[in-house]
Amino acid sequence: MTPDGRRPLRARAAMCALWILALFPLFSAAQPVPSAVAGADIDVALITVGPGEEVWERFGHNAILITLHGSGTPSQLLYNYGMFDFAQENFYLNFARGRMLYRIATSNADEDFAMYAAEGRWIVRQDLNIPPEQRMALFAYLSNNARPENAQYRYEYFTANCSTRVRDALDAALGGAIKAQLIAPSRGFTYRMDTLRLMRPEPLLMLGMDAGLGPFADQRLTYWDESFVPMEFMRRLREVRVRDAAGTPQPLVARETSIAKARLAEPPDLPPDWIWQALVIGIASGLSLLGLIRLRARAWARAAFAVGAGAISLACGVGGLTLIALWGFTEHISAWRNENLLLLDPLCLLLLPAWLGSVRRHWQPSTFARRIAFAIATLAGLAFFIKVFPAFAQDNRLWIALLLPVHLALALGAALPSNAR
């Protein structure tokens, strides 16, 4: 789920995508380490780019900028993780199964900065206080990593995206100093909370991602974990201290420079809280379905109930099958053990014949349909009651508030005696 959001430029695009985001052809050029370059001739900076307007740009992007001196005009290499090629063999199948192969590639910093600025995205450069020998080691690592035979890596939205790879490379060069200082502090955020707040401008996609994320997304994150968001890593890096050659602590960020200002609105600090709105919609929908059953002597009420109940059961059933597929047949670990299966229930598909048959004036649901409706409502209620157990920590309150009243109403409607219809 962390796209870096660069649009196509000379057949190249850099992205750290959430599981559904756009694909572009890429260009990759590995750079060998010049033997004459010494650590003192290398400058290292973290480049962070703010969110953009496109779906795949919502999470921002970061990269490592290496500047080489000592040979006349300085040369710059921008090392970007999160690159992929959708022409890769079996790419779509691997994407669906969660077996995504991404890679590191180098690009021209000036061209990239101009592109981001034209998109209205802010760019911040943080020059880093890294000793010469560690700068050399970092450059050697990145150059070797960018070689065609080494460039690919297994991508995962939260734990192995463009930002975490940048973070890990810098931390390794500093002997673990970054992780040691960021592994304990926390502001109490989760993967879900960051995902929802950053995807807020795309409400339908945001809700789909919320429904598809399982309990893995609700673990409380340390600053180290939350660095999967490029902007958060940039902010946390300001707090990191390292020791110079004399052993004196100093800020890791020696200088911070704004390369481009944003013309786009910043993402919200908190995810949206729509639980009460969802509860109102759920209760209103449930009461409306019961009201239509009471009015079924009228043809329009029977038709409205059949369409409404059928659409709800179809959406819940297909949604449940999707959640089962993500858990049982893919490596999208953030979707495993999804408690929304108790609400987006595949059993709902078994009720479609009953709801479609309700357009008949003398409709009477079968015993089988009544039992299935009762079972669905019971499982939906279980989704609420299991919250008393710490093992069920998934934050799916919105979906409970929205769907539990609907399932209860449908079960009650199926159980009403014929003279009450």
Looking at residue 419, what is its pLDDT?
55
Looking at residue 69, what is its pLDDT?
87
Looking at residue 420, what is its pLDDT?
56
Amino acid at 417: P
Burial class (CB in 10 A: 0-12, 13-18, 19+), 331: middle
Of 188, 180, 150, 142, nearest to 32 by C-alpha is 142
Residue keyed to tokens 């409380």: 220
Residues in Cβ contact with 71 at an 8 Å cutoff, skipping those fewer than 6 apart: 36
Looking at residue 161, what is its pLDDT?
92
Measured between alpha carbons, how far is 57 from 199 in angstroms, rounded to an integer?
Answer: 10
pLDDT tens readout for residues 245-293: 788 899 999 999 999 999 999 999 999 999 999 999 999 999 999 999 9
Of 289, 255, 310, nearest to 405 by C-alpha is 289
Sheet of 123-128: strand order equals: 152-155, 100-107, 75-83, 61-68, 42-49, 123-128, 253-260
Amino acid at 392: F
Looking at residue 71, what is its pLDDT?
67
Looking at residue 270, what is its pLDDT?
96
Q: Greatest CA separation found in the chain?
A: 93
pLDDT tens readout for residues 63-95: 999 999 876 667 899 999 987 766 677 777 877
Measured between alpha carbons, how far is 360 from 296 in angstroms, rounded to an integer?
Answer: 9
Q: Residue ranges of the chain with pLDDT lower than 50?
A: 1-33, 35-36
What is the pTM for the complete model shown?
Answer: 0.87
